[in-house]
Structure 1
Amino acid sequence: MRNNNINNVTNKVTLGLILALSLLSANMATFAQSNNEVSFYLQGSFSKLNYEALGESSKLENGFGFGAKYSYYLTENWSLGTGAEFQFMEGSIFVPTAQGAYMTQDSEADAFEFRYAATNFSENQEVYFLNIPLQVQYESLGTTRFYAAAGLKAGLVLNSEYQSSAGSLETSGYYSQYDVELTSPTFAGFGEFKAVSNSKSELDLKTNFVAHLESGVKFMLENDRSLYMGLFLDYGLNDIKPNTSGNRLVHYNAQAPTDFAFSSLLSAREIQDLDEVRTLAFGLKIQYAFQF
């Protein structure tokens, strides 16, 4: 009889241990599933290539981005994330007058000083980045959560272009050997020309490194889904200015003197007051996520 009681107790304890281990395994599996989060997001922003040239500052323009992110939760509150992001940024600058002079040769190989003054000069830049982010995120608990994230991004330049124009362009040629300045004829590239512009050209910006800050609200949905709504700030940490190409701001083409073209203010050799070019973007970010 005593052996039967011992066996019954042993069986009950064994069954209890099995049930406890099953519940613990289920809880651990549930916790393991919630460690991982995959999200997709869209962001709209104001953006600029932040710089000063010829006494003027660049202006804010529109931008956008979208991406995918993977996060691993170290605890219920803290996570580490990485992913891939496509980002478009646009910048612009307006200069009332851009002028300069340099030595060159005409179609007959005579040396002269080409002088120019471009009024109402403007330049637009467009840049496409592939960003690789690394960030840490904190979030509170509950159905509606506050979250804040900070980290770094490495931005690979997929494409960068600029387009420049001037309301008018006045040019002349000074021949020191004759001590004469020619303001005509126009077919030789000397005179006043209206509405000069060039087509989009390569800008060749450098790889961008960015400090990223983000904060907002995370709404917990059914089936381990969530929706983020927040604000973000991306600030460039390094100078992405292209190497000075040696080209002049206004090109004089001896073979086609009236076909003027512009170099970018970011790379023209006579723009001496341009120190650094950094990116700046801020705006709204919407993110849809699910955990597993």
Structure 2
Amino acid sequence: MNTKILYSALVVFISLITHAQKITVEGTGFFIQPAKHEVSSERSSMGYAFSLGYEYDFLPQWSVSTSIGYAKQNYRFYQARNQGGYSKEDIESDSFEFSYKTSGYSEKIHTQNLRIPLTVQYQTKGILSWYVSSGMAFSIPLAKSESTIKIDKVSTKGYYPKWDALLSGPDFMGFGEFNKVSDTEKYWLKTGYSWLIETGVKQRLSHDSHLYIGVYFELGLNDIRPKGKADNFAVIHGNDLAKPLEYSSVWSDERFKDRNFKNKMIGLKLRYAFSL
């Protein structure tokens, strides 16, 4: 008799533990919120993420969850006009003052990350219930970020004080007017840490499956730009006659050396959970 009672209790315990554990499948679409700056603006961008996760109900209305997934984010920047200058030496070691003006600067940056959130969730009772969750998320770069830069017009000049000469040409030396120029750059970003909060409704589909529909907000906590990257000018004059000019990403432009690049996103999430 005692053996039967013990066996029954064990079956009930295993059933409860199993029912408390869930596998989740998630899909997310989000907007990256624009950030204003005195010399540039970040335009609203979009991204998406897919993940497979695990959820454990440690109390009837409380649970903890984590997941691992793939996220792709796109950043867009725009600047109407810019100008600057600095001292250089040409291929013959003669010093000159290089100056530039740009108009219609735009940039798109594509990133791919391994995303790992860890959250705590509270939910009300019922077939249709309300839930709210909060926690931390980690974004680990899977590949180098790709930056594509396009500029409508670039004007450059070189002033040689030794001869009191101002050059606006030739093109192969990097002096003159250049229309519809472009450049690309690749670099590793740092792992991102962010705080997130999510809320929405939970619909019970069956005894052991549920559908979540919610909105969430995520705020980055650290600068994800690589160390030492913000040391370039918007237009870089080189001594390579095949490519005398290069163009810097916003993320490596010295004008932004005091600015932190942090994720700030709002989006929609669809999650399906089923018991093990």
Code of the residue aligned with 2:21 in structure 1: it is N
| Structure 1: distance between partners of 2:208 and 2:243 | 65
CA contact (8 A) 1:54 1:98 kept: no
Q: Confirm whether residue 38 of structure 1 aligns to residue 23 of structure 2.
A: yes
| Structure 1: distance between partners of 2:129 and 2:186 | 44
Offset of residue 182 of structure 1 = 1.0
CA contact (8 A) 1:53 1:274 kept: no
| Structure 2: distance between partners of 1:114 and 1:90 | 33
TM-score with structure 2 setting the length: 0.91
CA contact (8 A) 1:163 1:198 kept: yes
- The 1:255–1:21 alpha-carbon spacing in structure 2 relative to 1, beyond 3 Å, is closer
Q: Confirm whether residue 97 of structure 1 aligns to residue 77 of structure 2.
A: no
Q: Confirm whether residue 197 of structure 1 aligns to residue 200 of structure 2.
A: no
Aligned to 1:78: 62
- The 1:217–1:87 alpha-carbon spacing in structure 2 relative to 1, beyond 3 Å, is same
Offset of residue 253 of structure 1 = 2.3
What secondary structure, in the 3-state scheme, does the structure 2 residue paired with 1:31 have?
Answer: helix
Aligned to 2:102: 118
For residue 266 of structure 1, the aligned residue among 231, 240, 251 is 251
What secondary structure, in the 3-state scheme, does the structure 1 residue paired with 2:14 have?
Answer: helix
Aligned to 2:151: 166
CA contact (8 A) 2:172 2:244 kept: no
Aligned to 1:255: 240
CA contact (8 A) 2:35 2:43 kept: no
- The 1:274–1:266 alpha-carbon spacing in structure 2 relative to 1, beyond 3 Å, is farther
Q: Confirm whether residue 144 of structure 1 aligns to residue 128 of structure 2.
A: yes
Aligned to 1:11: none
TM-score with structure 1 setting the length: 0.86
- The 1:243–1:155 alpha-carbon spacing in structure 2 relative to 1, beyond 3 Å, is same
CA contact (8 A) 2:205 2:211 kept: yes
Code of the residue aligned with 2:72 in structure 1: it is F
**How many residues are paired up?**
274
Q: Confirm whether residue 282 of structure 1 aligns to residue 266 of structure 2.
A: yes
Code of the residue aligned with 1:90 in structure 2: it is N
Q: How large is the RMSD of aligned CA atoms in angstroms?
A: 2.1
Superposed CA offset, 1:62-116 (max 9, x none): 1100111111111111011112122111111111112111122223221111111
| Structure 1: distance between partners of 2:41 and 2:67 | 33
Q: Confirm whether residue 188 of structure 1 aligns to residue 198 of structure 2.
A: no
Offset of residue 138 of structure 1 = 0.8
Offset of residue 177 of structure 1 = 1.5
Superposed CA offset, 1:160-179 (max 9, x none): 22111110000000112222
For residue 164 of structure 2, the aligned residue among 174, 179, 187 is 179
What secondary structure, in the 3-state scheme, does the structure 2 residue paired with 1:27 have?
Answer: helix
| Structure 2: distance between partners of 1:272 and 1:228 | 40
- The 1:72–1:272 alpha-carbon spacing in structure 2 relative to 1, beyond 3 Å, is closer
| Structure 2: distance between partners of 1:85 and 1:138 | 23
What secondary structure, in the 3-state scheme, does the structure 1 residue paired with 2:142 have?
Answer: strand
| Structure 2: distance between partners of 1:243 and 1:25 | 55
Offset of residue 51 of structure 1 = 4.6
